[in-house]
């Protein structure tokens, strides 16, 4: 019998034995004597109190058993995926591609009971429970959120970050305690996925994201690309400049390479976690990912139209960017059969052979001409910047997110940001002889 299944059976046996002993103890206790020396008047209330005590303890034990059951189910799923039936002697058995490519979704949760909105869409759109198990990792110990997650039963696996202690932080970072907790939770949860459950890849979302109908289709198609192209290190469902008026919804199948780590629904391989885990930061993990030391010249894939949207204004960032940008992100509503499309154009050499000439062949215009909606006959156009201040001024004037992380603009590739402005394609681009990012730009 597999080891993990044995644990589940031992858990069930202990559960039954414990409750038998508990009931025997409770019902055999003598009733407390009344002040008048008689016990008959107190007996009904004593029995009620004993019953209530027994019921409360039973509920606690049932929750423990449910947790054992969920985790044993997940272990059993991994065992079936990794351990094929015993083959005939000397005949090797190789797991099928479908078994080997199970792609879980890790949901990071804390104290938002609105996690239901995230989970409902994930469960509605996933094509296969076996291929796409949903693992909800909860931090914070928030009871109402835990009840919401538990209400899904075996449809999701509910794991809990065990360390809820305060984290010592420098005095100037007291107001950033939440960012330290998030980084700790990410490290623990990703460790569970890759070290305990031993998946080879995972999609990471947070509890305030809603997913598009083709969310799983997108990641299924991009997974082989991520494995094959070592110049890629993630696939993201998010376009930082993905507001409805700034994307071409008629090209929902269009994907890009980006040097900016977008997050907000992203796919990584176990090999990347092997690299990142030993140096995982204590706080601000996403900006840490955007540093040159971690990125190491690699890119992510991102869509023209986002496959996630955030509904979480409340959070440790206190709604930073939410009211101005994030709540306007267009969530794709048209299913694109990505697994039937050829995505080889996203491989580095092929992408640069087609994307860069297209950008620099576009006629150059001034920002005033764009704002005045002039020279419409030119089609796609290019707006060229030559320094940090020029980039930020143009981005602000056109409604793009203008912040840079380690010198990289949001959604940018080789410094180029592609977007739609007043119905036309615009490339905000550095000069053709661009030589690389300047990490001092911020």
273, 194 Cβ separation under 8 angstroms: yes
The answer to whether 53 is a known catalytic residue is no
* Tokens linked to 255: 């994907």
H helices of 3-104, in order, are 3-28, 43-82, 97-100
By CB neighbour count within 10 A (0-12 exposed, 13-18 middle, 19+ buried), where does 367 fall?
middle
> Distance between CA atoms of 318 and 316, rounded to whole angstroms?
5
CA distances 313 to 319, 323, 389, Å, are 5, 8, 29
Would you call 159 helix, strand, or coil by DSSP? strand
Would you call 207 helix, strand, or coil by DSSP? coil
- First-to-last alpha carbon distance for the chain, in angstroms, is 57
Q: Could you say which of 111, 248, 286, 438 is catalytic?
A: 286
Would you call 259 helix, strand, or coil by DSSP? coil
Would you call 295 helix, strand, or coil by DSSP? helix
> Distance between CA atoms of 297 and 337, rounded to whole angstroms?
30
* Active-site residue set: 286
């Amino acid at each position: 019998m597999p080891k993990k299944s044995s644990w589940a059976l031992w858990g069930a046996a202990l559960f039954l034995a414990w409750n038998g002993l508990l009931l025997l103890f409770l019902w055999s206790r003598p009733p407390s004597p009344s002040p008048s020396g008689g016990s008959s008047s107190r007996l009904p209330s004593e029995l009620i109190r004993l019953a209530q005590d027994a019921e409360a303890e039973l509920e606690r034990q049932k929750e423990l058993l449910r947790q054992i059951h969920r985790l044993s189910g997940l272990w059993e799923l991994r065992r079936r995926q990794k351990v094929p039936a015993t083959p005939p002697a000397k005949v090797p058995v190789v797991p099928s591609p479908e078994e080997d490519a199970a792609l879980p979704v890790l949901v990071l949760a804390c104290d938002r009971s609105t996690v239901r909105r995230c989970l409902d869409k994930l469960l509605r759109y996933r094509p296969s429970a076996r291929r796409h198990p949903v693992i909800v990792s909860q931090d914070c110990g928030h009871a109402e959120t835990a009840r919401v997650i538990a209400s899904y039963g075996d449809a999701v696996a509910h794991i809990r970050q065990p360390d809820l202690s305060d984290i010592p932080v420098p005095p100037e970072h007291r107001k950033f305690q939440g960012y330290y907790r998030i980084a700790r939770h990410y490290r623990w949860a990703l460790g569970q996925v890759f070290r305990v459950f031993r998946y080879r890849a995972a999609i990471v979302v947070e509890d305030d994201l809603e997913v598009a109908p083709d969310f799983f289709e997108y990641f299924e198609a991009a997974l082989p690309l991520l494995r094959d192209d070592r110049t890629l290190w993630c696939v993201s469902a998010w376009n930082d400049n993905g507001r409805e008026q700034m994307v071409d919804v008629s090209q929902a199948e269009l994907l890009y390479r980006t040097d900016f780590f977008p997050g907000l629904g992203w796919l990584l391989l176990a090999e990347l976690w092997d690299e990142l885990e030993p140096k995982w930061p204590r706080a601000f993990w996403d900006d840490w990912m955007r540093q040159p030391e971690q990125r190491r010249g690699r890119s992510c894939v991102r869509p023209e139209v986002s496959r996630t949207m955030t509904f979480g204004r409340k959070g440790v960032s206190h709604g930073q960017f939410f009211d101005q940008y994030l709540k306007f992100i267009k969530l794709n509503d048209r299913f694109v059969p990505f697994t039937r499309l050829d995505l080889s154009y996203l491989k580095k050499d092929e992408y640069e052979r087609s994307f860069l000439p297209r950008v620099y062949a576009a006629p150059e215009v001034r920002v005033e001409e764009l704002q005045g909606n002039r020279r419409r006959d030119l089609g796609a156009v290019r707006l060229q910047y030559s320094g940090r201040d020029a980039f930020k001024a143009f981005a602000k004037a056109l409604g793009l997110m203008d912040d840079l992380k380690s010198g990289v603009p949001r959604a940018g590739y080789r410094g180029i940001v592609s977007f739609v402005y007043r119905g036309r394609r615009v490339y905000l681009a550095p000069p053709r002889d661009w030589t690389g990012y300047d990490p001092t730009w911020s």
